[in-house]
């Protein structure tokens, strides 16, 4: 084997790596996505080596210029990635040798791929978390816009998918805003947890060189260096945090997608979606199917799968570094790509969605949704306990059911049959709009509450 083709660690090896192992051992097709972070980390590491007089300035500058040249080559698609050199770190180092010769051999002083890879990966996950947060902000804004135009849109709120109580459609949409806000917080918290720089812990035990980890940490935008070298190279909590936050966010989006699918069905007919968000059937000419929503729902499984795979990978690993961990990149990249697309498509979906206001209102009168309001009226006006009032309300429902009438179709005489000392103003409790507006308790669905919430949220998401 000519030296030119040898991997950097070949000195003690008599045979080349088996081809079949090379196939799964090489991660370059995946981790080349870390090239910017890898080169940045190497440049800062070199600057530190110069500052600490571990290498000469002249040599350091050659290394840095070589690295910048490589960055340019990769950016312009002129870099030839080679599986033989396993991963992004060794591909870059190998190329550095061909550009600046033996000076390249000084770059890896006081560093190991073990600290290098997590430095790269932490930087990348920070960037990805920020991008996710940005897209969640856009999604929240679209939900806010839709809720603003639907404050007076009344629909049945469901529990167990049975009509429960009337709500404002805006209030329902704002529920998702709360979920997405928590998702954002999770990604923001992760950025804080991630904020300790691994660079300089070496393979696992630290290094005998007089390095300055505070310098590299600061230059790379971390709050501080990590405290324990063994933990540093063993730790993939930051990967799990990302995957878990992505999974929870994907789960929220999937619930939203599921509701769109149900509400768009010919049975519910609560919403319509723009043609851009529908597809046709190859056999049934009448069909318009909500494929994008279905795909979002289906793809949440990929996010959960990545989390499950990573947890399983980690659970049996003794300290510290093992090659098992190399699989983490693919899981995170897949999960991120999937989630980002799901967020963007959800944004398109919410924009393209039209509530069928008449159907929503009609349906909110189905299923005796104001039965609780009637019971509450009796407690508040007729001095009854809630349990007594509940029984009277149940009697009224039985009567309405028997007469095949909705509660708002009953007349005062019929209601009086159930309880004879009622005031005529009781009849307003069967009006769903009135029901909504009575829910003035903090966080309830009254118009007043919703307006307040929307204006507060609009200030938060300008």
Q: Where are the alpha helices (DSSP H) in 316-370?
A: 328-352, 357-364
CB 328 within 8 A of CB 125: no
Query: Restricting to residues 12-31, which ones interact with ligand ARG according to CB under 6 A?
Result: 27
Nearer to ligand ARG, 138 or 324 (CB): 324
Of 40 and 144, nearer to ligand ARG (C-beta) is: 40
Q: What share of the chain is helix, strand, coil (3-state, %, to 5)?
A: 70, 5, 25
In angstroms and rounded to an integer, the radius of gyration of the C-alpha atoms of the chain is 31
Contacts of 224 (CB under 8 A, 6+ apart): 195, 196, 197, 214, 217
Kindly indicate which of the ranges 277-285, 319-327, 350-358, 428-436 contains the residues binding ligand ARG, using the contact rule CB under 6 A.
Answer: 319-327
Q: Which stretch binds ligand ARG (CB under 6 A): 113-121, 207-215, 361-369, 391-399?
A: 113-121
Torsions phi, psi for 159 (to 5 deg): -130, 140
Q: Classify 164 as helix, strand or coil.
A: strand
CA distance 323 to 321: 7
Q: In terms of CB distance, is 311 or 344 closer to ligand ARG?
A: 311
Q: How far is the CB of 460 from ligand ARG (least distance, A)?
A: 39
* C-alpha to C-alpha distance for 41 and 56, rounded to whole angstroms: 19
Which stretch, 112-120, 147-155, 172-180, 405-413, contacts ligand ARG (CB under 6 A)? 112-120
Binding test (CB under 6 A) with ligand ARG, winner from 43, 67, 117, 389: 117
Question: Which residues 6+ apart lie within 8 Å of 344 measured at CB?
Answer: 135
> Cβ of residue 121: shortest distance to ligand ARG, in angstroms?
8
* Catalytic-labelled residue, pool 98, 205, 281, 385: 281
* DSSP E strand stretches across 160-280: 162-168, 196-197, 224-225, 271-273
Q: Is 113 in the site for ligand ARG (CB under 6 A)?
A: yes
Q: Which of 260, 340, 351, 355 is nearest to 302 (CA)?
A: 340
- Please report whether residue 114 would count as binding ligand ARG according to CB under 6 A: yes
Residues of span 250-289 touching ligand ARG by CB under 6 A: none
- Is the distance from CB of 198 to CB of 118 less than 8 angstroms? yes
Give 236 or 299: the residue with its C-beta nearer to ligand ARG. Answer: 236
The one catalytic residue in 160, 208, 282, 441 is 160
Q: What is the phi-psi region of residue 46: left when phi exceeds 0, alpha when psi lies from -120 to 50, beta otherwise? A: alpha
Q: What's the token pair of residue 57?
A: 């300035």
Determine which residue in the list 85, 187, 222, 321 makes contact with ligand ARG, applying CB under 6 A: 321
Q: Closer CB to ligand ARG, residue 302 or residue 329?
A: 329
Q: Which is nearer to ligand ARG, 117 or 350 (CB)?
A: 117
Q: Is 50 left (phi over 0), alpha (psi -120 to 50) or beta?
A: alpha
Residues 323-382 that bind ligand ARG (CB under 6 A): 323, 325-326
Q: By CB under 6 A, which span of 67-75, 126-134, 157-165, 322-330 interacts with ligand ARG?
A: 322-330
281 a catalytic residue:
yes
| Closer to ligand ARG by Cβ: residue 31 or 212 | 31
Cα–Cα distances (Å) from 317 to 201, 320, 325, 328, 426, in that order, read: 19, 8, 9, 14, 67
Q: Which stretch binds ligand ARG (CB under 6 A): 138-146, 277-285, 321-329, 424-432?
A: 321-329
What track of x and - describes contact with ligand ARG for positions 58 through 87 (by CB under 6 A)?
A: -----------------------------x
- The string of DSSP codes covering 94-115 is HHHHHHHGGGGGGTTTT--HHH
- For position 248 contacting ligand ARG by CB under 6 A, the verdict is no
Residue 108 appears among annotated catalytic residues = no
Residues forming contacts to ligand ARG in the complex (CB under 6 A) are: 27, 87, 113-114, 117, 321, 323, 325-326
The residues assigned a catalytic role are 160, 281
């Amino acid at each position: 084997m000519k030296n030119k083709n040898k991997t950097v660690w070949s000195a003690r090896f008599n045979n080349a790596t088996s081809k079949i192992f090379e196939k799964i051992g090489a991660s370059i097709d995946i981790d080349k996505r870390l090239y910017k972070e890898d080169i940045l980390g190497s440049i800062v590491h070199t600057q530190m080596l110069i500052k600490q007089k571990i290498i000469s300035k002249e040599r350091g500058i050659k290394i840095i210029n070589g690295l910048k040249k490589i960055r340019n080559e990769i950016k312009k698609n002129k870099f030839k990635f080679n599986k033989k050199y396993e991963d992004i770190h060794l591909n870059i180092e190998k190329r550095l040798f061909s550009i600046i010769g033996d000076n390249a051999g000084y770059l890896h002083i006081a560093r190991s791929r073990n600290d290098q890879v997590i430095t790269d990966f932490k930087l990348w996950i920070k960037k990805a978390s920020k991008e996710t947060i940005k897209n969640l902000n856009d999604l929240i804004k679209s939900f806010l816009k839709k809720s603003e135009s639907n404050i007076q849109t009344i629909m049945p709120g469901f529990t167990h998918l049975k009509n429960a109580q009337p709500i404002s459609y805006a209030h329902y949409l704002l529920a998702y805003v709360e979920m997405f806000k928590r998702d954002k917080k999770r990604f923001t918290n992760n950025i804080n947890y991630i904020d300790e720089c691994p660079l300089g812990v070496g393979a696992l035990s630290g290094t005998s060189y007089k390095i300055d980890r505070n310098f590299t940490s600061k230059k790379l935008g971390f709050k501080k260096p990590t405290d324990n070298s063994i933990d540093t190279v063993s730790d993939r909590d930051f990967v799990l945090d990302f995957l878990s936050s992505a999974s929870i966010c994907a789960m929220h989006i999937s619930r939203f997608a599921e509701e769109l699918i149900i509400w768009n069905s010919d049975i519910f007919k609560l919403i319509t979606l723009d043609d851009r968000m529908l597809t046709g059937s190859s056999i049934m000419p009448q069909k318009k199917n909500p494929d994008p929503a279905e795909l979002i729902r289906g793809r949440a499984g990929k996010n959960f799968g990545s989390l499950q795979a990573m947890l399983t990978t980690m659970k049996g690993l003794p300290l510290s570094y093992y090659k098992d961990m190399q699989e983490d990149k693919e899981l995170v990249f897949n999960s991120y790509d999937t989630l980002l697309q799901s967020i963007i498509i959800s944004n398109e979906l919410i924009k393209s969605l039209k509530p069928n206001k008449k159907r929503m209102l009609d349906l909110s009168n189905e299923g005796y949704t104001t039965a609780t309001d009637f019971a509450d009226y009796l407690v508040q006006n007729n001095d009854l306990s809630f349990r007594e009032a509940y029984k009277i309300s149940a009697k009224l429902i039985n009567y309405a059911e028997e007469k095949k009438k909705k509660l708002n179709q009953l007349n005062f005489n019929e209601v009086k049959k159930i309880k004879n000392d009622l005031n005529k103003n009781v009849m307003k409790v069967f009006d769903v709009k009135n029901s909504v507006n009575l829910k003035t308790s903090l966080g309830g669905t009254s118009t007043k509450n919703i307006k307040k919430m929307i204006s507060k949220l609009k200030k938060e998401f300008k």
